[in-house]
Every structure is written in structure tokens, then in C-alpha cells.
Structure 1
Amino acid sequence: MRSGGALVPTPVPGVHLSTGAFESVVHGLAAALGTLEPDGVQRLRTPPVIAREIIEKVGYHRNFPHLLGRVYTRTSTGTPIESDLVLLPAGCYCVYPLFADTALAATTERSVEATCFRQEADAEVGRLRSFRMRELVRLGTAENCLGWRDDRLAAAQQMLADMGLRTESAVAGDPFFGSGGRMMRALQQERKLKIELLAEVGPGQTQAVASGNYHVDQFGRLFAITGPDGAVAHTACLALGYERLALALLHRHGPDPSRWPEHVRKLLTLERP
């Protein structure tokens, strides 16, 4: 499905080619969103794959078997076998193993750009099977991770407002804890572990364009990470989807970025027409 001519459909549902205008917006978003990072933070770029062992360790294969993209290859005799790699479903999964069996001396943060894959069941506007995202990941104590999540989410919402995007925040079930039943989902929502920013990405079509996630000590326990207070480390992340944000901007301001409001063009460092 097209969205203002920004994405060119392929024969495969949920897989698109992007135009030059679309990519200029994505590149502008990558630069603008970088201002949400603290000075000197280490920036990482992930490959589109991750060790299957890590995904199995965090339980993604069990909680979301329908979304996981598995990789198969063949032995030298031609026998098909499952690879030790899977397609990366979220960028932050690459960060936690870096600190496995580590005692953090201080609160730690990383910035990750990732190409991700999820085997989505439909192909509505914004629900791509292959997509890019920026994630800021925080490791530390419970207090500084939760407060950081709220602060960075508010900063992101303000930045999107400056770009002319109208967003609404909504509490959602946190996928890091599995799909679960109604009771688990209600508990997740009561604790506000996951807060999404929703925006229109097409006519009558609303998607989450960003989310702030507080994982409690889930990944600290799984990877034996100790926080600076000596307790199991807590983690949080801010995730922003490049394609969905670009679609939202094109829907809001029109298909030609050269005609967008000057202050938006300046924020995205788009060239003058």
C-alpha cells in the first residue's frame, strides 16, 4: 500500500521500496533524534541478525513465535539446518549481552540504530516487516531507569510536536514480558511498564511511532548484571521507528518535503528547494 507515494509496494505484503524523498526524511529524523542522547554516549549500529541463543535466552521465541524470523542454511552435504542466527526483532537485545556478568560502576547508556524484522500478519500502513529504529538503552537502578524513561519520552514527544506531529500517549502491555493473559496484561498496564506515542501515519490509520519501556530487572536477572547500588540492574529503553515517523510526517505535511513548513525542514536539516 502506498502512503502519499512515499513507499513503493513490492509483490510481498509489508515489504516496500522507499523513494529518495522518503530517505531524506529518514536521514533528517536520524540526525534530529540524536539530540535526545546525552553527550558522549556510545553509538552502536546493529546488523540485521542476532545470535539465536540470545533471543532464546530472553524468551522471544516462546512469547512471539509468530513474529520471529528464523534463518536456515544447508550443510556441505545439502542437508537443511537452522542457523545460529535469527533476524533481529528489536535493537536493544544487542545491548544487554555486552554487560553480561558485569557489576556496573555507574548508570550506563547506549544508543542503537537497528534494522529489524517481524513477521507481521497484515500489511496496513506503517506495519512493515522490515524496518529501522533508534533505541536509547539505560542500565542502572530502579529509580534512575524509570525516571529516565519518563524524561526521555516527554522529550521525544516535545520534539515530535515541534515537527508538527500530534501524538497521544497510551499505556500498553509490555512485549518484553511476553504476550501473557488478560491478568498479566492488566498488571503490566497498571504498572505503566510500556507507554506508546501514537500518531496518524495515513488516513484514519494510527500507529505507535515511539515507545518508552521500563523492563524492571528482567534483563538484569537474565544476563547477571549488577547495578551501581549492588542490586540486580534495572533497564529501560526509548524506541523510535524511523519509517513510521517518516510516514506520519508525510501524512501531516504532504508528500513533498520541499513544501513543508520551514521550521520543520530546519529541524530535519532538509535541503532548501
Structure 2
Amino acid sequence: MTDTAALAATPDQPPTPSFRDELLAAGLLIDTGENGLYGRSQVFEDVVERLNVAITHLGADQDPEVLRFPPAMRRTDFEDSEYLKSFPDLAGTIHSFCGNELGHQRLLRALDDAMNESDDDRSDAWMAQQTPTRVVLTPAACYPIYPVMARRGPLPAGGRTIDVLSYCFRHEPSLDPARMQMFRQREYVRLGNAQQVMAFRQMWIERGSLLVSLLQLPVEVDLANDPFFGRGGKIIADSQRAQALKFELLIPVANPGSKTACLSFNYHMDHFGGIWKIACEDGTVAHTGCVGFGMERITLALFRHHGLEVNAWPDDVRALLWGETEARVAQGIARMRTQADAAGDGV
């Protein structure tokens, strides 16, 4: 039983299981004892994999370069990214023991003392012997891309489109199963001039909405901002919203009364291009943008809206994920283009 369910319980009325409780009871998520850190079942992973296939078909005509990185990046690249200016509370660093024999003995004594205290909420005194390493946990799948692109030199005339997938880390433990500390982001990242990147973002707002509608999930795209830290963060967030730099596709997941961002559509302007000196073919600073698919969140939304038994999901949803994936995605894109042409908008 979760803490929230326990608080809602009364002596005469048993607690109502939360969505998290139901996922754990069904074995779709596996409790590790740490909020926001879960194992995944074979069924859960199968849905994630089928979603990945659908997303690949959704972006295949963009001819993206496929890159995959581990869920860690160089600390110097992370420092250069300015992530700590905006989200210091979410960052995760990696430490390791780099001491001598004496330091090792101090570590073991402190660890023995901690383990003798209790099974949980132990002292972390042994970590005084740990030293920061040269790598940190990746906060967003696109972050390792920019220094790599910078080292290649100026972008080609058409810019570049990158397909990337990675586990990411955010230090925000929660009982909301959609707010995990370790989760996967699938992204398409665009590097080019402002017009190329803005057109890319608009296209992906349409295609992301298409995928969610094919999954028979509610579609709501809204202006958004990132959770910038501190009092100064509100000013940055207001500026981000005023410039319409970020949109999110929202779906109810944890409960029907709240909505969770399952996809995000971002225009970074020349922020990353300026930091890493990424240039367009004409020598101007490159602009960047990305669409991010929250793989666990979309999967959780499917279980929330279609039930915990995948064999009972709507036939069209099952056909999209486990049957005619490529054909159904192509048909959806063709319908979208036809509707846009009929409206005189193009795509």
C-alpha cells in the first residue's frame, strides 16, 4: 500500500488502490524499495519496444542519423551545458572510491556503523571517502549529441536530424509512477537554421499527436515551461512561455484529475549551438530543437486507459503495436497530409 493510499484510508473503509498499487500488484512494475525506481516486467518492456518500432516508422522519412549513448556523459560536457544553472536539484553525479588502503578502512568502518543502525535511512558517512568521477548521469537523451556534432565541423546545407534513445536520470523521487528517477527518452533532434528547426517542431507536434491518437489516447497539446530552479527560475519560465519555446502533449496517467507530459516539443533557439559553437554551412550559429517521447509515460498511459491486460486492448491499438505497424503509421501520415492539403495548409 502506498503512503497516499494509507492516508486516504479510514477505519471503516479500506484504502482504494492507487494506479501505482495496481501496476505493482499486476507485476508490470517491480518495487525496488525506492520511490521512482522500478523494475519492468517482460510485458511492460514489450510494449515499450513496440512503441519504439512505431516511433521509428513515424520518423523514417526524415532519414535521421541513429545514435545511441549510455546513460552517462562527460562531466565537462555536462558543465558546459549550463544544466546546473537551471536544474541543480535534478542532476545526478557519479562518485567512486579513489583512496588508499587507509581510506578503504575508514570507508568500511563507517559502512559497518551505518549497517548496524538500521535497514533504511542509514548514515552516509562512508561516502566521505568517495570522489567525483569524470562522468555524470545523462539528464536528457539529446545532451550527448551537441558536443559530438560540434566536433564534426559546420552542418551540411540541410542541417542534421538525429534519432537518439537513452535512459535518463532526474532526482525527483515520487509515488507517481509516471515520475520516475530513471526513465527512457526517445528523441528526434534537429540542428540547422531557425526556419528548419521551427518547421521540424511543428511537424512533430502533428506527428506526435497522430501517434497518440492512433493509440486511442486523449490528445491535448499545450504551451509549457521547464521546472527551472529558484526564484530566478520563474522569470526564465515566463520567458520560455512568452516565446512559445516548449509545448507538451498531456495525458492523464496517475489519476484522471491530473495530466502528465508524455511528449515534449522544444525549440532551443541558438542556446546549444552557441555553447558548443555548432555552425551552419553559412557560418551562422546553429539552432536546435527536439521532440521527446517519454517511453515509460506513454506505456503507463496505455495501461491506464486500456487496462492492465494487453490482450484486452482495442483491436486497432493491438494492430498498430503488434501487427501492421509500418502500414498503419504510413496510412495515418497520408491521411494527415490529405487533410492538411484540403485545408490549404500543406504539411
> How far does residue 3 in structure 1 lie from its aligned partner after superposition?
4.6
- Cα distance in 2, alignment partners of residues 203 and 161 from structure 1: 20
Q: Which has the higher contact order (CA 8 A, sep 6+)?
A: 1
Counterpart of 1:32 in structure 2 is 54
Counterpart of 1:160 in structure 2 is 212
Counterpart of 1:138 in structure 2 is 190
- Cα distance in 2, alignment partners of residues 270 and 17 from structure 1: 27
Q: Which of the residues 115, 140, 145 maps onto 1:90? A: 140
User: Which structure has the larger Rg over C-alpha atoms?
Assistant: 2
- The structure carrying a bigger strand percent of its residues is 1
Distance 1:3 1:93, change over 3 A: farther
RMSD of the alignment, in Å?
1.9
Q: Which of the residues 20, 39, 43 maps onto 1:17? A: 39
- Cα distance in 1, alignment partners of residues 321 and 141 from structure 2: 23
Question: Number of residue pairs matched?
Answer: 270
Residue deviations 1:167-190, cap 9 Å, x none? 211111246x87743332222101
On the 8 A contact 2:173/2:181 being kept in 1, the answer is no
AA aligned opposite 2:154: A
- Cα distance in 2, alignment partners of residues 84 and 61 from structure 1: 16
- The structure carrying a bigger helix percent of its residues is 2
Counterpart of 1:105 in structure 2 is 156
Instruction: Give the match's secondary structure for 1:267.
Output: helix
- Cα distance in 2, alignment partners of residues 232 and 49 from structure 1: 27
Counterpart of 2:293 in structure 1 is 240
Residue deviations 1:65-100, cap 9 Å, x none? 211111111225145210011111111001101121
On the 8 A contact 1:170/1:196 being kept in 2, the answer is yes
- Cα distance in 1, alignment partners of residues 181 and 48 from structure 2: 17
Residues 1:268 and 2:321 aligned together: yes
Distance 1:121 1:18, change over 3 A: closer
- Cα distance in 2, alignment partners of residues 238 and 13 from structure 1: 27
Residue deviations 1:117-169, cap 9 Å, x none? 11114231300001011010000000110111111121111111011010211
On the 8 A contact 1:71/1:87 being kept in 2, the answer is yes
Q: Among the aligned pairs, what percent are the same residue?
A: 36
Counterpart of 2:302 in structure 1 is 249
- Cα distance in 1, alignment partners of residues 255 and 229 from structure 2: 31
AA aligned opposite 2:155: L
